[in-house]
Structure formats: structure tokens, C-alpha cells
């Protein structure tokens, strides 16, 4: 029952995290910042706007991106197969890439390109993460992973690799090349407006829920450790976001892959001797 | 008339191979009378003589050399007479699945070829010959997956080499001839490897039958297995033997389709499956072949990223996936064998579908290169639909090839706990599969730019004999989803949910028109230039290519040396 409620409210939870993040980031910069419910005010405003569409493909694929992501989050909450979740998440990314290419705007194309390229960066690390959990628990089942004790110590290197993935997925500096508002005016977002942009906006919130619920897997069955992990990683990601400049997309791939794969490989080899 | 006959024949083949799958006999064994062996021997000598003649006539020293070597070795093999005998024909479940692939997918390709060859400028006789050769090719393939005798296997192996040589040279211009000769000498290496394997097998194990060899194999001396595996690598066009399959692209598209999906290259994973009990008897052979396979998967996917020729992209992705299949067969657990079979079947369907579209692009739209296919959705939405389904079926849930990839990672994850070297294989698979996704959707995105101002009526219609085979393959993919649901390869939610998600999209396209929304033009930010839709290239430098080849050769050498020590 609690799972169903969680799934239904998943976008709202993501929205709250996002609002909270804006407050935290503002405080880090010594600003007042918007209220915590600002994302929902934005949403309300967007709903009142006149919807413009460029072509039906574009809008439908954007909506599908949101829907698929919601399904992915539901699978995580229901405790399905972790490796499968990683690949289903790929499907949602493919939808957003197709969205970006279904219009003729150059910014949209560059954004979609970079989205596709950043898949190279994070996907292998997510797969290795899933394999790491498999080696410790003998199964990809998220339920089983959540009910066993914390794996943070034995998967510490993979945890570090996962930390690299978070800013890529959440579009945080230094790895926010796919969105890059200053250069490519938001990339794939550029052609969305009104209610259709709302779906994309909410998909971003779901991305938060997805990535932080993967983070929670490291805590296993310890709720306290989960809370600590969330707070520490949340602050760390925002601190880094506030204090770094964006890197180019090819540097993003090189940095994330070289460091991430090495860490992951060391960790998996270590696990195979345990 | 001719077409109807061909179609009827194809349907009969399909029905027979289907019904064979459902017969209850587990293993069918039979021996051939002595007369047949003499005929086979005769065919072998004729074949080798033909290769020799081609080598001399075309002044190709490698072909000549390999033909001579094969003749000498073959004579030597005949002079040895092993005493451990078994049955010549052995049909098991793996063979019956291969029959399905060969006859159904191959049959669909022949139907497609009927239309394709019509538009070529050849004499009527040569066109009929083309279709006949495709049929013969299928029959050889059917035989090769039924035989248990390595000597007969050798003859059929050489016959597939002959057919690929003739079909690649079909257009008989200079490029075709050169590429055909390249395919010939590379495949001859495979023939030499089989003959050497035969010599070793007879002298050391006193048999020329697969089943006895596999049963009696000494896990410290795997030389015949390693040699047969090399023959597999050659047929599967694994790096460093990849050049011939890419050269084969000059042939008419149905040839590429049939080579890549239903015949010939599928010998590679089939052979590995057959040898897999012997391979896994020694952990060393298992890990080495797994590493070779996964490395090829990774390297070929990476090389494909820098290609622009549509058929070449498909070709390299075939090489990559064959590598994965061979790796799966070499791991040899029950799960990985299932994954391998699933991948063989669905790769055949998806690749045939994609090659069909490549052929249609060439014939109807006169396009060959990915850079030219901007906004194809405006002219041929059906073609674009087929291409997207083809690529999606190779990467995304709930399609068969995805399930195989998923199971591959699962079985490698299990192996890592036993041997940390499998971590490398895992990294190769993870990177390779991401590269392939990137590659496929790099192509798809090119098709996709919908032009708002374009009218709906400039659609190019497709001939019936193009539409029907493609639709059959798409429905096979959908049947595949049902079968994998039935076989419980994934849990039912894992299959149903993504199927629904993917199915919603076209339904929404058709039904939702966003009546209330205002249509606008895209954001151009004041640019006056006509927008050239950008596709990114990944140049793989020659240095890297050399490293890749060197690593592949090194791994194969390790396999051979390790098999003896």
C-alpha cells in the first residue's frame, strides 16, 4: 500500500527535493532564494499558459519520456530487478533523445546529441553498480538488496563512481553539458512550452527520485544510514555544483568513464575475492 | 510463375522447420552410406581445385597458397583412418532452432530478393541463378547444422565459402571481384584450421566426430577445439578477420541480409555452442574465448561509430553481436546458452529487417549513406518505422535481443565470483552495449527531423514484395515477445510494461492531434542559414585500429598456445 502511495506521489516528492535544493543552493550563495514550493508555483503557472506545439511527434515523445521515467521509478519502489531498471531507464533516455531530434531546431539537436553522449558516460557505471550488488546479494532484486545490511563499506569504490554519475543525471555542474542553458538554451527543452514543458519539468523531478533512490540502496536496511547518505550526498552535489564551472561534453565522458570504470573494476575484482 | 513457385517452396520450408521443432524426438541420429562419403570426397577435391584455379587465374597468391595447403592437408586427412566411429547426422534442439532461423528468416529474405533482383540489370538467366544460389545456400546451411562428422562439416564449410565467393562477385566488376577474393582467402584460413583440427583430432583422439571428440577431450590438451574455434572466428568475421564481411557489402543487398542473418556467419556461434561442453571443461579456454568474444563486441561497436555507410554500420554491428554470441556459448552455463540461442534467433530477424530497409533505401530512395537520410520520415514514414523497430529490437526491452543482452550480463556477473578476469568481459559488454545503443540511435535520429511544412502526400509507395517480407519480420519480432513471455525469460511485468509503453506511442500519434494547441515554427534564433542537421562522428584513429587488431591477434595466439600447454 505504502508503495502505491509512494509511486503516485513520486513526482511531487521529486518536486519537493527540487524546491529544497533551490533553497539550499541559494543559502550557499548567501541569497534568500525562492520558497520551497516554488516548483509547484511554476507548475501552476505553466498550466495556465497557452500550449504551443511544433509537431505532434515532439510533444508525444516528450510525454512518453515522463511516463517511462515514472514507470522506472515505480519499478524501483516496487523492488524489481535492478539491472532491468537500468535498461528501462535507457528507454526513457532514448525517448528524450528522439524528442530532441524530432524538431529542426539546432539547439534541440545539440542537446539531444549531448544527452545521447552522456549515456556513454553513466550507463556502464550503472551496469557495474548493479553487478556489484548482484555479487554481494546473489540477486539483482532491489527488494533483496534493500532488506540486507548496508553494502557501503564493501562497495565504497562503486559508491564513489556513482557519485560521479549523479551530477550527470541531475544536470549539475561540472557535468551539466547536456542542458547548458547559457550555450544551448536548455538543449532538448528548447521547443517545449506550456503543459508540454510541464511534463519535461516533472520528468526532471522524477530523475531526482530515481537517482536518490538508487543511492539509498547503498544503505541497505538501515534507515538512519540512508538519511545520512542522502543529506551528505545532497549537500556535496550542490556544493560542487556551486563551486565548479561546466566541462565540455567530451571531457565529461572522459572524466566519468576513466575514473568511474577504474573504480568500478577495482571494486568488482575485490568483491570476487571475498 | 517463378515467383509463386519460390514463395510456395519457402513456405513449405518454413512449415517443415516449424513442425520439426515441435516433434518429440530429442536427438535424431543417422549414418550415411559409404557411397556418400566418396561423393563428398569428390566434391571436396573439385572445390579445392576450383579455388586453386581461381587463385591462379585471378593471380591471387594467398588464395592459391591456401588452396594448395588445404589440398595437401586434406589428402593427409583422408589417408588417416580413425577407428572411433559415430553417426554422421546428429540433430538436437540447437539444430532445430537453427533450422528455424535458416529456413524462416532465410526464406523471407529470398522472397525479398525476388523483388530486389528484378531491378538489377542482368540477364534473366543470371537473375534466376541468383535465386537458385540463395536456395542452395540455405540447403548447405541446413546440412551443416545437422552434421556430426567434422569431415563433412569441412566440406559444407567450404561450400559456404564458395557461395559467399560467388555471391559477392555477383556484380563482376573490379571491386566485387577483389572483395570476393578477399572473402575467399580469409575463409580459406578457416578451412585450414578445420583440417588441422581434423589431423590433431584423428592422431590424438582417434576420431573425426564432434560428439566423441567432445566426450573424450583431455582438458589439458585442447588444440583441436582451439583450431575449430578459430574456424568459427573466421566465419563469424571476428576481428582480425572482419575485413571480408565488410567487403561483402558490394554484393546485392539480399546477399548481405542472408549472410548476416540466416546463414554463414551464424556458423560461428553454432560451432561454439557445439563445442561448448569441451570449452568449459577447461576454465582457460572458456575465459579466453569469452574475452575474445566480448572484446570483439566492444571493438566492433566502437569502430562502427565512425562509419557512415548504412550497410557498413549494420555489418560491424553484426560482427559485434556475433562476438557476444560466441562469448555466451563459451561461458557455457545453462542461462548463457539460452541467451546465446535467443540472440541468434532475434539477431537474425532484426538484422534481416534492417538490411531489407538498407536495400529499399538504395533501390527506392537511392540513398546509401546515413548523412543523406535527413528527415526521411517526411517521405517514407513506413520505412522509418521499420528501421526504428529494427534498431529498437536490438537494444531496448521487451525485444528478444535485449533479453539476451540482459541475460548475458547476468551470467557474466555470476562468473565474476569465480574468476575476476570476467570483470574485463563485463566492462567490454557494458561499454559495447552502450556504444551500440548510441550507434543505432545516432542513425535513427537522422531520420527523424519532421518538417512541419511538408505535405503529407509526397510519400513514396513501396512495392508489395518489399512490404510483405518486412511486415513478416516485424510480426516475428512481436511473436518473439510473446514467446519470451511464455518462456518466462523475464518476469511478466518486465515484458508487458515496456511493450505497452512502446505500443502507446504509435497509438497516440494516430489519435491525438492536439486540437487545442497552437502550431508554431521552430526556434531559429535569427539564423539565416539553411540548417544542416548535424550528425557527430567519432573518428577512430589508425593507431587505435592497429591496437585493436593486435589485441585480437594476441588473444587468439594465447588461446592456441594455452590449448597446447
Give the DSSP letter string of B10-50.
HHHHHHHHHHHHHSS-S-EEE---HHHHHHHHHHHHHHHHH
Does the pLDDT at position A148 exceed 60?
A: yes
> Mean pLDDT across the stretch B125-151?
87
Which B residues in the span 369-428 are in contact with A, Cβ-Cβ below 8 Å?
Answer: 392, 395-397, 402, 406, 409-410, 412-414, 416-420, 422-424, 426-427
Contacts with B409 from chain A: Cβ below 8 Å: 83, 127, 130-131
Are the C-beta atoms of residues A164 and A256 closer than 8 Å to each other?
yes
The shortest CB-CB distance from B413 to any of A131, A191, A196 is to A131
> Mean pLDDT across the stretch B447-452?
63
> Mean pLDDT across the stretch B204-220?
84
* Nearest-CA distance A146 → chain B (Å): 19
Confidence tier at B531 by pLDDT (50, 70, 90):
low
The shortest CB-CB distance from B423 to any of A90, A97, A268 is to A268
Confidence tier at B458 by pLDDT (50, 70, 90):
low
The shortest CB-CB distance from A83 to any of B410, B446, B512 is to B410
Contact B434 A271 (CB under 8 A): no
Contact B445 A80 (CB under 8 A): no
Angle, CA of B410, A82 and A118, to the nearest 5°: 95
pLDDT at B294: 92
Does the pLDDT at position B295 exceed 90?
A: yes
Question: Which range marks the domain in which residue A8 is found?
Answer: 1-273
Which DSSP category does B536 fall into?
-
pLDDT at B515: 62
Largest CA distance in chain A: 60
Contacts with A94 from chain B: Cβ below 8 Å: 392, 396, 437, 441
How close are the terminal C-alpha atoms of chain B, in Å? Answer: 60
pLDDT at B545: 86
Name, of A195-204, B37-46, B530-539, the range with top average pLDDT: B37-46
Tally of domains within chain A? 1
Name, of B192-196, B220-224, B391-395, the range with top average pLDDT: B192-196
Give the total residue count for chain B.
565
pLDDT at B496: 81
Which candidate in A119, A268, A274 is best for mutational testing of the B interface (most B CBs within 10 A)? A268
- CB of B437 less than 8 A from some CB of A: yes
pLDDT at A126: 92
Q: Kindly identify which residue of chain B lies nearest to residue A266, measuring between CA atoms.
A: B423
Largest CA distance in chain B: 84
- List the beta bridge partners of residue B221: B218
> Mean pLDDT across the stretch B306-313?
84
Please give the Cα distance from A148 to A163 (Å, whole number).
22
Phi/psi for B301 (5° steps) reads -65, -40
Mean pLDDT of chain A: 84
Residue A225 in 3-state DSSP? helix
User: How confident is the model over A92-134, as pLDDT tens digits?
Assistant: 888 888 888 777 777 787 888 888 888 888 999 999 999 988 8
Contacts with B294 from chain A: Cβ below 8 Å: none
Contacts with A57 from chain B: Cβ below 8 Å: 448, 450, 509
User: How confident is the model over A206-219, as pLDDT tens digits?
Assistant: 999 999 988 888 88
Q: Kindly identify which residue of chain B lies nearest to residue A80, measuring between CA atoms.
A: B494
A14 alpha-carbon distance from chain centroid: 11
* Of the candidate ranges A37-51, A181-195, B134-148, B370-384, the one whose mean pLDDT is the lowest: A181-195
Which candidate in A104, A121, A157, A258 is best for mutational testing of the B interface (most B CBs within 10 A)? A104
> Mean pLDDT across the stretch A228-232?
90
The shortest CB-CB distance from A116 to any of B413, B441, B450 is to B441
Confidence tier at A182 by pLDDT (50, 70, 90):
low
Nearest alpha carbon to residue B109 among B259, B4, B244: B259
* Nearest-CA distance B410 → chain A (Å): 8
Give the total residue count for chain A.
274
The shortest CB-CB distance from A83 to any of B392, B406, B491 is to B406
Mean pLDDT of chain B: 83
pLDDT at B192: 92
Q: Kindly identify which residue of chain B lies nearest to residue A190, measuring between CA atoms.
A: B523
Please give the Cα distance from A260 to B139 (Å, whole number).
49
User: How confident is the model over B400-444, as pLDDT tens digits?
Assistant: 888 888 888 888 888 888 888 888 899 999 999 888 888 888 888
Beta-strand pair A52-53/B518-519: parallel
The shortest CB-CB distance from A272 to any of B392, B420, B430 is to B420
Contact B519 A268 (CB under 8 A): no
| Residue owning grid cell 533553497 | A23
* Of the candidate ranges A146-160, B56-70, B358-372, the one whose mean pLDDT is the lowest: B358-372
Which candidate in B398, B515, B523 is best for mutational testing of the A interface (most A CBs within 10 A)? B523
Q: Give the residue with greater pLDDT, B447 vs B427.
A: B427
Are the C-beta atoms of residues A220 and A149 closer than 8 Å to each other?
yes
Does the pLDDT at position B238 exceed 60?
A: yes
Query: For residue A113, how many C-alpha atoms fall within 13 Å in the half-sphere facing its CB?
Result: 18
Beta-strand pair B28-30/B89-91: antiparallel
Confidence tier at B253 by pLDDT (50, 70, 90):
confident
Residue B223 in 3-state DSSP? helix
Centre a 10 Å sphere on the Cβ of residue B469 and count the other Cβ atoms it contains: 26
Amino acid at each position: 500500500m505504502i508503495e502505491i502511495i509512494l509511486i503516485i506521489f513520486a513526482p511531487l516528492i521529486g518536486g519537493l527535493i527540487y524546491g529544497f535544493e533551490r533553497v539550499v543552493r541559494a543559502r550557499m550563495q548567501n541569497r534568500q532564494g525562492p520558497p520551497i514550493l516554488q516548483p509547484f508555483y511554476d507548475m501552476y503557472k505553466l498550466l495556465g499558459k497557452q500550449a504551443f506545439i511544433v509537431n505532434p511527434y515532439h510533444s508525444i515523445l516528450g510525454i512518453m519520456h515522463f511516463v517511462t521515467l515514472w514507470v522506472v521509478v515505480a519499478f524501483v519502489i516496487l523492488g524489481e530487478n535492478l539491472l532491468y531498471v537500468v535498461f528501462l531507464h535507457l528507454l526513457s533516455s532514448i525517448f528524450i533523445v528522439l524528442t530532441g531530434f524530432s524538431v529542426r531546431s539546432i539547439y534541440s539537436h545539440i542537446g539531444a546529441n549531448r544527452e545521447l553522449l552522456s549515456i556513454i558516460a553513466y550507463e556502464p557505471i550503472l551496469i557495474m553498480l548493479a553487478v556489484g550488488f548482484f555479487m554481494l546479494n546473489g540477486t539483482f532484486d532491489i527488494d533483496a538488496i534493500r532488506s540486507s545490511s548496508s553494502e557501503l563499506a564493501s562497495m565504497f569504490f562503486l559508491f564513489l563512481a556513482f557519485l560521479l554519475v549523479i551530477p550527470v543525471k541531475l544536470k549539475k555542474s561540472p557535468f551539466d553539458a547536456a542542458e547548458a542553458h547559457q550555450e544551448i538554451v536548455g538543449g532538448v527543452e528548447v521547443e517545449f512550452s506550456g503543459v508540454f514543458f510541464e511534463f519535461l519539468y516533472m520528468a526532471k523531478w522524477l530523475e531526482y527520485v530515481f537517482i536518490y533512490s538508487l543511492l539509498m540502496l547503498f544503505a541497505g536496511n538501515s534507515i538512519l544510514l540512508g538519511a545520512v547518505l542522502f543529506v551528505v550526498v545532497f549537500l556535496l552535489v550542490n556544493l560542487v555544483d556551486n563551486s565548479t564551472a561546466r566541462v565540455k561534453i567530451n571531457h565529461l565522458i572522459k572524466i566519468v568513464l576513466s575514473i568511474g570504470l577504474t573504480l568500478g573494476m577495482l571494486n568488482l575484482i575485490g568483491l570476487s575475492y571475498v | 510463375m517463378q515467383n509463386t513457385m519460390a514463395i510456395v517452396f519457402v513456405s513449405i520450408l518454413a512449415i517443415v522447420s516449424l513442425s520439426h521443432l515441435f516433434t518429440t524426438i530429442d536427438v535424431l541420429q543417422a549414418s550415411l552410406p559409404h557411397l556418400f562419403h566418396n561423393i563428398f570426397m569428390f566434391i571436396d577435391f573439385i572445390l579445392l581445385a576450383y579455388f586453386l584455379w581461381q587463385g591462379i587465374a585471378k593471380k591471387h597468391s594467398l588464395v592459391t597458397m591456401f588452396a594448395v595447403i588445404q589440398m595437401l592437408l586434406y589428402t593427409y586427412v583422408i589417408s588417416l583412418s580413425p577407428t572411433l566411429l559415430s553417426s554422421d547426422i546428429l540433430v538436437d534442439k540447437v539444430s532445430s532452432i537453427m533450422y528455424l532461423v535458416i529456413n524462416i528468416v532465410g526464406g523471407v529474405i529470398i522472397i525479398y530478393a525476388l523483388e530486389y533482383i528484378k531491378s538489377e540489370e542482368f540477364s534473366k538467366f543470371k537473375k534466376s541463378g541468383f535465386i537458385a544460389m540463395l536456395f542452395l545456400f540455405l540447403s548447405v546451411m541446413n546440412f551443416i547444422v545437422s552434421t556430426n562428422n567434422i569431415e563433412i562439416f569441412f566440406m559444407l564449410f567450404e561450400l559456404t565459402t564458395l557461395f559467399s565467393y560467388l555471391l559477392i562477385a555477383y556484380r563482376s566488376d573490379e571491386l566485387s571481384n577483389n572483395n570476393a577474393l578477399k572473402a575467399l582467402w580469409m575463409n580459406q584460413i578457416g578451412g585450414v584450421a578445420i583440417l588441422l583440427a581434423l589431423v590433431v583430432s584423428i592422431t590424438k583422439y582417434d576420431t573425426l566426430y564432434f560428439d566423441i571428440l567432445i566426450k573424450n577431450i583431455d582438458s589439458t590438451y585442447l588444440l583441436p577445439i582451439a583450431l575449430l574455434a578459430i574456424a568459427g572466428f573466421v566465419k563469424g568475421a571476428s576481428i582480425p578477420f572482419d575485413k571480408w564481411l565488410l567487403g561483402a557489402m558490394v554484393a546485392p543487398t539480399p546477399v548481405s541480409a542472408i549472410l548476416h542473418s540466416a546463414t554463414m556467419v551464424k556458423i560461428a556461434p553454432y560451432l561454439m555452442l557445439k563445442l561448448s561442453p569441451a570449452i568449459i571443461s577447461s576454465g582457460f579456454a572458456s575465459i579466453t574465448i569469452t574475452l575474445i568474444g566480448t572484446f570483439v563486441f566492444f571493438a566492433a561497436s566502437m569502430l562502427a561509430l565512425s562509419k557512415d555507410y548504412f550497410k557498413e554500420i549494420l555489418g560491424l554491428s553484426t560482427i559485434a553481436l556475433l562476438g557476444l554470441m560466441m562469448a555466451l556459448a563459451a561461458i557455457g552455463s545453462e542461462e548463457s546458452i539460452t541467451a546465446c540461442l535467443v540472440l541468434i534467433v532475434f539477431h537474425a530477424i532484426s538484422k534481416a529487417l534492417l538490411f531489407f530497409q538498407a536495400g529499399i533505401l538504395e533501390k527506392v530512395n537511392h540513398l546509401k549513406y546515413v548523412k543523406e537520410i535527413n528527415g526521411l520520415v517526411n517521405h517514407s514514414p513506413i520505412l522509418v518505422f521499420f528501421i526504428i523497430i529494427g534498431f529498437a529490437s536490438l537494444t531496448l526491452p521487451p525485444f528478444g535481443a535485449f533479453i539476451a543482452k540482459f541475460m548475458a550480463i547476468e551470467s557474466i556477473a555470476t562468473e565474476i565470483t569465480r574468476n575476476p578476469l570476467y570483470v574485463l568481459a563485463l566492462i567490454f559488454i557494458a561499454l559495447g552495449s552502450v556504444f551500440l545503443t548510441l550507434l543505432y540511435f545516432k542513425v535513427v535520429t537522422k531520420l527523424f527531423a519532421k518538417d512541419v511544412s511538408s505535405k503529407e502526400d509526397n510519400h513514396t509507395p513501396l512495392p508489395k514484395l518489399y512490404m510483405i517480407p518486412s511486415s513478416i519480420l516485424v510480426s516475428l519480432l512481436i511473436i518473439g515477445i510473446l514467446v519470451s513471455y511464455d518462456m518466462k525469460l523475464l518476469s511478466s511485468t518486465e515484458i508487458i510494461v515496456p511493450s505497452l509503453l512502446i505500443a502507446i506511442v504509435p497509438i497516440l500519434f494516430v489519435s491525438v492531434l492536439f486540437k487545442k494547441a497552437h502550431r508554431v515554427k521552430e526556434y531559429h534564433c535569427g539564423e539565416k542559414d539553411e540548417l544542416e542537421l548535424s550528425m557527430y562522428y567519432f573518428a577512430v584513429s589508425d593507431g587505435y585500429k592497429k591496437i585493436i587488431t593486435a589485441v585480437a591477434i594476441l588473444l587468439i595466439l594465447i588461446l592456441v598456445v594455452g590449448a597446447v600447454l
